[in-house]
Amino acid sequence: MKETFRLSGEYIALCDLLKVCGVADTGGAAKFMIGEGDVMVNGQVELRKTCKIRAGQVVSGAGFELTVLAADA
């Protein structure tokens, strides 16, 4: 699954992004995935559940890739 996500503000928490995009069914499931080291931000494993994801970053893992775009001005 390859998707783009457009921010509505300056950033979104990593666990919220996974939930909103349907990668994880719940916030708890998203936090579990992150804690297990199954999520990468710009090619690096990210273990911080509420890491601020900003425009231009790519979040990926097994079977998904999310490209984050800036909010419309």
Of 32, 41, 45, 29, the closest CA to residue 5 belongs to 41
Task: Quote the DSSP letter at residue 33.
Answer: H
What's the CATH superfamily of 2-69? RNA-binding S4 domain (3.10.290.10)
Q: What is the pLDDT of residue 14?
A: 97
Give the global pTM: 0.92
Domain spans of the chain? 2-69
Average pLDDT of 25-44? 96
Q: What is the pLDDT of residue 71?
A: 85
- The per-residue pLDDT for range 24-33, each reduced to its tens digit, is 999 999 999 9
